[in-house]
Structure 1
Amino acid sequence: MATAGEIAPEFALPDQEGKVHRLSDYRGKWVVLYFYPKDDTPGCTKEACSFRDEKGRLEQMGAVVFGVSADDTQSHGKFALKYGLNFPLLADPAAEVIKAYGAWGKKNAYGKEYEGILRQTFLIDPTGHVAKVWEKVKAEDHALEVAQALEELQRV
């Protein structure tokens, strides 16, 4: 798992419009990279809408937001359109970036254990280092929590 203080793993993934985003393209900016299990599911929708609603505030602090799941670009496009999502959703169907960040692991649902995407968020500083990690995320209001942490980090 990528931990605070480490250099964040590089990525190059397409968004819902097919544009490829590379972490290195965003040097000099704060990057909010949040991993979520599945497009258009209740928790993931709440989390995405939370980031949609906080995007302006995060941008004012010099941050860009990316959501990442294993869904394909077409699924991301439908999800973004349905909820007016105003930031890139990155498609990682092979889960390579998801695993590089450590956002893949054992999960439990309805008494069954399986492996899948863990709801986690990584805040990457302008030098490309992981500044903060949220390993257990409550989907609702998570973006507010990220914005508050970013404010605190920028005060230091």
Structure 2
Amino acid sequence: MNTLAAGNRAPEFSLPDLDGRPVRLTDFRGRKVLLVFFRYATCPFCTVRFVRLAQEAKRYADAGVQIIGVFESSAGYIREYLGRRGLPFPVIPDPDGKLYALYGVRKSVPGLLFGMFRLPTLLRALFDPAYRMAQPDGSLTRIPANFLIDENQIVVDAYYGNDIGDHIPFARIDHFAAGTVTGNMRHV
């Protein structure tokens, strides 16, 4: 599986969002994009991250950054488990993993095991009144990834998580939004 690095052109895609409307990367040419590959809709680690991104969505939009979320879940599962929280940015269901493959987002058994040590994040999800445990609707071994894509659709930062709870730090997104990202910030 090929991974992306800073300086690569972001692979073009066109997939339907939860409402069946096409989401195309080219539609965001001229804007910065944060492309977030979550695991599945009931993943407690991804739920915590999703909630935080939803809280920051307006601030990032005001700074010119469009967030696009991708879940390995079906549209129905995403609506059922995340829809009641509100979806402040486009969310793409990708149960077949086509977009994951296109961006080199991997699976890892060690990443599953090491991720379980993120106890504070796990507890935060489990005590969230809106969170409900349910059957996973995606691969247990899927590892998250995040891509910061500039206005010309060039990858500025390719962040491949090391475990199931590892997402790009918000400080890196903030630097990207402010235009202060420099160098190859690839993380694998």
User: Counterpart of 1:85 in structure 2: which amino acid?
Assistant: L
> What is the CA RMSD across the aligned residues, in angstroms?
2.6
- Give the corresponding residue for 2:150: 125
Q: 2:171 aligns with which of 138, 141, 145?
A: 145
Rounded to whole Å, the distance in 2 between the matches of 1:95 and 1:88 is: 17
Query: Matches of residues 2-151 of structure 1 in structure 2 within 5 Å?
Result: 2-108=4-110, 109=112, 116-136=141-161, 144-151=170-177
- Give the corresponding residue for 2:129: none
Deviation per CA, 1:76-102, whole angstroms, max 9, x where unpaired? 222332222311211112211101111
Rounded to whole Å, the distance in 1 between the matches of 2:38 and 2:30 is: 25
- Checking the alignment, whether the CA contact within 8 Å between 2:29 and 2:152 is kept in structure 1 is yes
- Checking the alignment, whether the CA contact within 8 Å between 1:9 and 1:101 is kept in structure 2 is yes
Rounded to whole Å, the distance in 1 between the matches of 2:81 and 2:33 is: 21
Could you tell which deviates more after superposition, 83-92 or 57-66? Answer: 83-92
Rounded to whole Å, the distance in 1 between the matches of 2:171 and 2:79 is: 26
The structure whose residues are more often strand, as a share, is 1
State the secondary structure of the residue aligned to 2:83: helix
TM-score, normalised to structure 2's length?
A: 0.71
Q: CA deviation at 1:120?
A: 0.9
User: Counterpart of 1:15 in structure 2: which amino acid?
Assistant: D
Deviation per CA, 1:37-64, whole angstroms, max 9, x where unpaired? 1102210100101110110111011111
Tell me the number of residue pairs that the alignment of Structure 1 and Structure 2 aligns. 154
Rounded to whole Å, the distance in 1 between the matches of 2:79 and 2:39 is: 16
- Checking the alignment, whether the CA contact within 8 Å between 1:15 and 1:76 is kept in structure 2 is no
State the secondary structure of the residue aligned to 2:73: coil
Q: CA deviation at 1:70?
A: 1.7
TM-score, normalised to structure 1's length?
A: 0.85
Could you tell which deviates more after superposition, 144-153 or 51-60? Answer: 144-153
Give aligned-pair identity as a percent.
25
- In structure 2, the gaps of 5 or more residues are 115-138, 183-188
- Is the alpha carbon distance of 1:146 and 1:16 closer, same or farther for their aligned partners in structure 2, counting shifts above 3 Å? farther
Rounded to whole Å, the distance in 1 between the matches of 2:107 and 2:169 is: 23
- In structure 1, the gaps of 5 or more residues are none
Q: CA deviation at 1:139?
A: 5.1
- Is the alpha carbon distance of 1:143 and 1:21 closer, same or farther for their aligned partners in structure 2, counting shifts above 3 Å? farther
